Structure 1
Amino acid sequence: MQAPMIQFDHVNKNFPQGKTQAVRDLSFDIFSGEFITVLGTSGSGKTTTLKMINRLIEADSGTIRFNGQDIKSQDVTDLRRQMGYVVQEVGLFPHLTVAGNIAVVPELLGWSKGQIKARVDQVLDLVHLPAADYRDRYPKELSGGQQQRVGVARALAANPKVMLLDEPFGAIDAITRSSMQTELKEIQQQFDDKTFVLVTHDIMEAFTLGDRVMIMDQGQLCQFDRPQAIIQAPATPFVAALMDTVKQQSRLWSELS
């Protein structure tokens, strides 16, 4: 049987200022090559869960394993270099070109200039930004959607085993968002062994992109299954309410069309 790429075993996290526990007794397995979406409202624990994977937030108790090893036994810098990380705010370095931003981690890893140039061009093509047109531009010369594409390219640059994405499309317009969702799924499907974990509060995004969807509420895992299985058999009243929201949206579009 295939071993999990990411494994949470009775993980808990509490913040001193929080009135409720951020994450409670969280256990699940994610396997190599899966596209997992984590769905929940604000305060559900989904971003905390994502950040515990790369140790931006440390768990209070329980065990998190990456590729079979307890992450606390691994050097945190080495751990993070095996994981691409994309956030809503992008966070490109304004003084670096697109190529310079993408090259940051490969340079830290000691890649040659030739290797870096080839990889920069390759990942720019993956995110539909032709290298000849974009590699020498600066972030201020790009639209929000283009900046987010560069953020994805930067996260892919060192060929990480895992891609962690925290609401990556939340700050861009609906048309660009839809296009980037499709492109991201296409990128993931090009790699048999690359695992994607994407946090979102958008129900349709979660169910469109996820091979499996993890639904969280108040720090707990409500259901973790294939989209069709969740739609057919919601496990809790909270999940059932989410599914009712989807049905209402579908009914509205049917009435308007």
Structure 2
Amino acid sequence: MPIAIEFKSVSKTFHLNAEPALSDVSFQIKEGEFITVLGSSGSGKTTTLRMMNRLIEPDNGHIEFYSHDIRGIDAIQLRRQMGYVVQQIGLFPHLTVAENIATVPSLLKWDKRKILARTEELLHLVKLPPEDYLNRRPRELSGGQQQRVGVARALAADPAIMLLDEPFGAVDAITRLDLQAEIQKIHQQLDNKTFIFVTHDINEAFKLGDRVMIMDHGRICQFAPPREIIRSPQPGFVQKLIDTVNEQEALWGEFK
């Protein structure tokens, strides 16, 4: 499979004399992978994601999108090839669900019939029947339903890559599990679509990721399939994460 995203010795510092947000980070993500990026607050995971669509520019190093240096790609054109979903969702409150999903296709001047067909297709994909949801406003939706619309909107123009930054962090635990299952199904149904999903939840990261990138203090501690990390965690931060999960499982076991 081709390489969708590659970082080559990328570094970023936001404030003079501050600890780098990213420090000499290098990795490759293949087309079609579901990558989860795991780390605590300040680990560099969101900075890494936002560099992919040029919302943040690196101080040093290079980032490539399908072997093209992203600095040579117009930022708007680049972002139209990358769907972007965040925790806050950001639906336009004065627009209907259909109008929200159609935002980018409308900017691209798609035919109205094509936009409607795409909108209905995506609502079916995220399990929101069009006949019930096309004309609703965001205020009429639950948090989980709003997040589903956010995913549909990000997919509307058929981007090559989906960037998801803590997308389920603001919903309750049961809804979060449902959304995790749905996002897995969506990825499986979309041929060669690359998903990059930032989270601070280790269970979510290991459940969803084909590979998990674990970050701490602006560096990658380990980047491997979940099974490999569990079997052979790197000493230090990764080992502590695995130990924490094992302790939680032992605690639950005491109540059985």
Pairwise TM-score range, normalised by the shorter structure: over 0.9
The corresponding residue for 1:187 is 186
SS at match of 2:117: helix
Deviation at 1:222, TM superposition (A): 0.3
Code of the residue aligned with 1:209 in structure 2: it is: L
Find the counterpart in structure 1 of residue 22 from structure 2. 23
**1:251 to partner: Cα distance:** 1.5
Q: Distance in 2 between matches of 1:212 and 1:161?
A: 18
Deviation (angstroms), 1:17: 5.9
Structure 1 match to 2:142: 143
User: How far apart are residue 54 of structure 1 and its match?
Assistant: 0.3
SS in 1 for 2:116: helix
Query: How far is the alpha carbon of 1:252 from its aligned partner?
Result: 1.9
Q: Map residues 15-164 of structure 1 onto 2, 5 A cutoff.
A: 15-16=14-15, 19-164=18-163
| Change in CA separation of 1:217 and 1:116 when aligned onto 2, cut-off 3 Å | same
Q: What SS does the corresponding residue of 2:239 show, helix, strand or coil? A: helix
Report Cα offsets for 1:200-221 as digits up to 9, x if no partner.
0000000000000000000000
SS at match of 2:3: coil
| Amino acid paired to 1:87 | V
Give the C-alpha shift of residue 181 in structure 1.
0.2
Q: Give, in whole Å, the separation in 2 of the partners of 1:178 and 1:108.
A: 34
Instruction: State the AA in 1 paired with 2:58.
Output: A
Deviation at 1:18, TM superposition (A): 6.9
Provide Cα deviations, 1:126-161, integer angstroms capped at 9, x if missing partner.
Answer: 111101000100001111111111000100111111
The change in CA–CA distance for 1:51 and 1:226 in structure 2 (over 3 A counts) is same
Cα deviation, 1:173-201, whole Å, max 9, x if unaligned, reads 00000000000000001123100000000
Provide the identity percentage.
Answer: 61
| In structure 2, C-alpha distance between the alignment counterparts of 1:211 and 1:140, rounded to whole Å | 35
- CA separation in 2, counterparts of 1:18 and 1:72? 26
* Number of corresponding residues: 256
**Partner SS for 1:172:** coil
Task: Return the TM-score normalized by structure 2.
Answer: 0.98
Deviation at 1:72, TM superposition (A): 0.3
Q: Which residue matches 1:213?
A: 212
Question: What letter corresponds to residue 21 of structure 1 in structure 2?
Answer: P
In the alignment, what sits opposite 1:175? 174
Q: List, as ranges, runs of 4+ consecutive aligned residues in structure 1 with deviation greater than 4 Å.
A: none
| Residue number in structure 2 paired with 1:6 | 5
Shift of 1:108: 1.0
CA root-mean-square deviation: 0.9
Moved more, 74-83 or 9-18: 9-18
SS of the residue corresponding to residue 19 of structure 1 reads: coil
Residue 221 and residue 120 in structure 1: after superposition, are their counterparts in 2 closer, same or farther (change >3 A)?
same
Q: Distance in 2 between matches of 1:60 and 1:19?
A: 14
* Residue ranges of structure 2 left out of the alignment (5+ in a row): none
